[in-house]
Structure 1
């Protein structure tokens, strides 16, 4: 294997930053025109896809074609599925309460605060988290065993996300479940199948980058940052603080894993038979 093309990777990273910024700025303009910022959640998956597409184009002549196509395809399927799901889920709704509460802190222009504290911040996170996709695109050698492990992790993650989202949507669509906690299917094995799915997806994409130590070294921050966000930052921790006062939540949390899937514990007081 020839050396890692650092100069080309650096140029590509600058183009990727521009792609992420373009998606976020376009979303900001659209969101301001509509008077709500929940659209940034849709832009999250789109921005990753834009970065992957830019990496694919910029790495032509440097990276292995099979790996370039693989990481573009994996990222686009994950990102666009997520974007479509969030867009459908939010159709007909007003502002997301999370953003309403967050932007209430703004001093001065609410739009300027949103641009700085939401859109530009998320654009920067996209660039950092997508580092395995960018770096893997520039690996000149052929696909190896690490890539196979990565694809397996990615498939596991996407299945958890897609199946978990489908199960939750069906549960919420039944009027009999109004006010109840979803504790069925994958949601009985982990309180956050979608976040666990994201965790697997990004460790999987990192594994694809591990076919070259240089790519692994420059991108290991990605799965570490995503793991922190999902478990300690804006993912699991934030959602569970919001859910803590819901009827039935304490019982559900006591018998269901907080993140890594495992069989549910029996309800307190349940008979052994």
Structure 2
């Protein structure tokens, strides 16, 4: 396996799943206590950080110290920024409509167990799968090469899109004059979801940090799953369903703005 210690990696994979589950169980306890399950979104970034931290500790003496430290820092910077942003944004807010609809599928007396299984348990499993490139990269015995540094550059582009997009949206929402309007300037002029696009870039960048090894390519389902969830799963489609119902100008904005990849705005079609 390209010099990777297989038994040690297997131990790490098991321990990382436990770390992700522990963070989600803590978030579940908060959700039950407050009656609001939207805080699981803030636990998302923390769970990735817990997986990376666990892997970093267990990979000591197995992986290259430089690559290990690089991957750990990349995950922690991304995860802590995301969790902090979501906590600030959601402070005092009511339950997220996504979780309201999801939990409404279960009878009232079973909703707590349903939430544990379908919200927190499922997200722990997704965190573990998406973070496979990180877990394997920590055990690669070679120093970072050109492909890994290219991945770091892609990670930086993604983090920039996420952070700038989130900041532009927060400023827009803070102005009462923008109530009911659609943000269509800054990064939001070129993509309807700069933060989701940035998130995808982050995880493809982390994949490149392990793609210089044969075993690294076995972790390809990680970034593929993250991209699918953002563009076609619980990210973009569910959010846009809400926006179509609450933003009168959404249809015109969506007609001229790329749904995911940043592209120049489309010109409006002339009316016949």
Q: TM-score, normalised by structure 2?
A: 0.96
**C-alpha distance in 2 between matches for 1:198 and 1:86:** 14
- Residue 145 of structure 1 corresponds to which residue in structure 2? 146
- Residue 218 of structure 2 corresponds to which residue in structure 1? 218
Give, in angstroms, the shift of residue 242 of structure 1. Answer: 2.0
Question: Aligned to 1:191, what secondary structure does the other structure show?
Answer: coil
- Residue 111 of structure 2 corresponds to which residue in structure 1? 110
The answer to whether structure 1 residue 187 and structure 2 residue 188 are counterparts is yes
Moved more, 106-115 or 80-89: 106-115
Give, in angstroms, the shift of residue 206 of structure 1. Answer: 0.1
Give, in angstroms, the shift of residue 130 of structure 1. Answer: 0.4
Q: Runs in 1 of length 4+ with deviation above 2 angstroms? A: 265-270
Residues 2 and 214, structure 2, Cα contact 8 Å, conserved in 1: no
- Residue 44 of structure 1 corresponds to which residue in structure 2? 44
**C-alpha distance in 1 between matches for 2:175 and 2:29:** 36
**C-alpha distance in 1 between matches for 2:97 and 2:193:** 20
Residues 207 and 219, structure 2, Cα contact 8 Å, conserved in 1: yes
Residues 17 and 127, structure 1, Cα contact 8 Å, conserved in 2: yes
Give, in angstroms, the shift of residue 243 of structure 1. Answer: 1.8
Give, in angstroms, the shift of residue 265 of structure 1. Answer: 2.5
- Cα 1:2–1:125 change in 2 (3 A) is closer
**CA-to-partner distance for each residue in 1:32-57, whole Å, 9 max, x for gaps?**
01111011000000000000000000
**C-alpha distance in 1 between matches for 2:152 and 2:237:** 28
User: How many residues are paired up?
Assistant: 269
- Residue 178 of structure 1 corresponds to which residue in structure 2? 179
Give, in angstroms, the shift of residue 180 of structure 1. Answer: 0.2
- Residue 128 of structure 2 corresponds to which residue in structure 1? 127
Residues 192 and 258, structure 1, Cα contact 8 Å, conserved in 2: yes
Give, in angstroms, the shift of residue 25 of structure 1. Answer: 0.5
Moved more, 190-199 or 240-249: 240-249
Q: TM-score, normalised by structure 1?
A: 0.95
Give, in angstroms, the shift of residue 218 of structure 1. Answer: 2.4
**C-alpha distance in 1 between matches for 2:220 and 2:267:** 38
**C-alpha distance in 2 between matches for 1:2 and 1:222:** 20
Give, in angstroms, the shift of residue 268 of structure 1. Answer: 5.2
- Cα 1:85–1:35 change in 2 (3 A) is same
Give, in angstroms, the shift of residue 150 of structure 1. Answer: 0.3
**CA-to-partner distance for each residue in 1:59-102, whole Å, 9 max, x for gaps?**
00000000100111000000010000000000111211111111
**C-alpha distance in 2 between matches for 1:179 and 1:104:** 27
- Residue 158 of structure 2 corresponds to which residue in structure 1? 157
**C-alpha distance in 2 between matches for 1:242 and 1:31:** 23
**C-alpha distance in 1 between matches for 2:270 and 2:163:** 33
**C-alpha distance in 2 between matches for 1:93 and 1:244:** 21
Written as runs of structure 1 = structure 2, the 5 A alignment for 1:1-273 is 3-107=3-107, 108-214=109-215, 216-245=216-245, 246-267=247-268
Gaps of 5+ in 1: none
CA RMSD of aligned residues (A): 1.4
Give, in angstroms, the shift of residue 267 of structure 1. Answer: 4.5
